[in-house]
Amino acid sequence: MHNNMSHFSLKSLFGAVFLFFAFSFGLKAQDGAKIFKQNCAVCHSLTDQKLTGPGLAGVASRVPKPEDEWLTAWIKNNNKVIASGDAYAKALVAANGGVDAMSEFEFLSDDDLKALVAYIKAPPAPKADAAKTPVAGDASGEEEEKGGIDPLYLLLGAIVILAIVLSALRSVRHSLQNSYNRREGKAESEELTFGQEVKQWIGGHRRLVGVFVILIGFGGMKSCWDACYDLGVYYDWETQKGYHPEQPIKFSHKLHAGDNEIACQYCHNSVEKSRHAGIPSVNVCMNCHKGIQTGPQYGEKEIAKIYEASGFDPKTGNYTNPQNPIKWIKVHTLPDHVYFNHSQHVVVGKQECATCHGDVKKMTTVEQKNPLTMKWCIECHRKTEVAMEGNAYYDRMHKALKEKYKGQYDVKFTVDKIGGLECAKCHY
């Protein structure tokens, strides 16, 4: 009889486990929708409607077989498919104006591609106005994405159902036990409290309980993670915003970059060539301070420290003294696991120093003006448009977009749409 019992609860447990898998798959389908919105919806509808690219309704049945492979290869790099001499691809381009206007999506992972292909093969039933909002990332789009049932509710539902099943089983078991006892002439057993019953049950099903707890743990973590990611709330409480240490020499950006209009790149000369802006070596200071030996505010005192560092003897004009490098205190720091590249932002992205560092030209001591958190990076990537004008890499895509939406939509091609929200782009 006891065995029968555990059979029963086993079933309900498997039911709960099944629910978990169901919601994991639910998430996958959602990922596909998201990727589509972010990367494809500017050019494709999921209906028959043609935008820049053909409408994707029924696309799986018209492309060469095996369709999953073809679609994956096409999305990843359609140039390659066309170059391989694929007859369907050639006809497709010819039918769409003769120029291959679709961008490549090499940055999508295999999992992304899988979810994406699954999604375009079987998208959820379109809402009435879905075709009218091809511009991804707008408010209405966000809402639509979250249309599914929150996995957290499924989880809570599963727990409630489990509790109900358990308590029902408990009373069934109690009355069965009693009728058994009566037949055997034993005394009726005392009814255990729910707590005792649960304890007993857990004791007998350690392994199952373990699996269940782990699943709940992962489910909960995943939901929290996704929620945090969407809100972008990571680590704002650890921000170093406002940090402005005293430096070993009273070097003033206001005096140099402001009043004397020395270009940032004169001193931070790797900012356009590498990921680091770089702090100038003392030799750079000496280009000017060999001659400029007194300053407006501190006289000879602070400039003397430059000589001390470089081994320069102002009396003889020779570098005869021992050198003693300046130990500048770093103001902005990202953790080691974050990859940030100055030249990508300043040259390719055309971002001003001041957007991230504030008006350094007015600072006597440099101050960190922005939080430098993940949220900060991501918020900018979500709202800043990629500078596509005059950038060969984006030119073709841009032309196609501009032509298509001339005067119709305010098309925003923001950094997140070229993969600026992918973990691996910013993390080692």
- Contacting ligand HEC within 157-216 (CB under 6 A): none
Could you tell me which of 347, 162, 384 has the C-alpha nearest to residue 271? 347
Q: Which residues contact 282 (CB under 8 A, 6 or more apart)?
A: 306, 309, 310, 325, 326
- Closer to ligand HEC by Cβ: residue 233 or 288: 288
Give the footprint of ligand HEC on residues 216-245 (CB under 6 A).
229, 234-235, 238
Q: Which residues contact 201 (CB under 8 A, 6 or more apart)?
A: 9, 166
**Nearest distance in Å: CB 410, ligand HEC:** 17
Out of 9, 30, 52, 310, the residue judged to bind ligand HEC by CB under 6 A: 52
- At residue 197's C-alpha, the angle toward residues 194 and 199, to 5°, is 110
Distance between CA atoms of residues 32 and 40, nearest Å: 11
Out of 284, 308, 343, 411, the residue judged to bind ligand HEC by CB under 6 A: 284
Out of 19, 46, 101, 115, the residue judged to bind ligand HEC by CB under 6 A: 101
Could you tell me which of 27, 30, 31, 43 has the C-alpha nearest to residue 75? 43
Out of 26, 278, 311, 314, the residue judged to bind ligand HEC by CB under 6 A: 278
Out of 19, 310, 381, 413, the residue judged to bind ligand HEC by CB under 6 A: 381
For position 78 contacting ligand HEC by CB under 6 A, the verdict is: yes
For position 380 contacting ligand HEC by CB under 6 A, the verdict is: yes
What are 74's two structure tokens?
């096409």
Judged by CB under 6 A, the number of residues near ligand HEC is 110
For position 405 contacting ligand HEC by CB under 6 A, the verdict is: no
Distance between CA atoms of residues 181 and 163, nearest Å: 27
For position 330 contacting ligand HEC by CB under 6 A, the verdict is: yes
Give me the long-range contacts of 139-142 (CB less than 8 A, separation at least 24).
Answer: 141/37, 141/41
User: Half-sphere exposure of 406 toward its Cβ, with a 13 Å CA cutoff?
Assistant: 4
- Closer to ligand HEC by Cβ: residue 190 or 336: 336
For position 285 contacting ligand HEC by CB under 6 A, the verdict is: yes
Distance between CA atoms of residues 149 and 42, nearest Å: 26
Site string (357-376) toward ligand HEC, x via CB under 6 A: x--xx----x-----xxx-x
**Nearest distance in Å: CB 172, ligand HEC:** 46
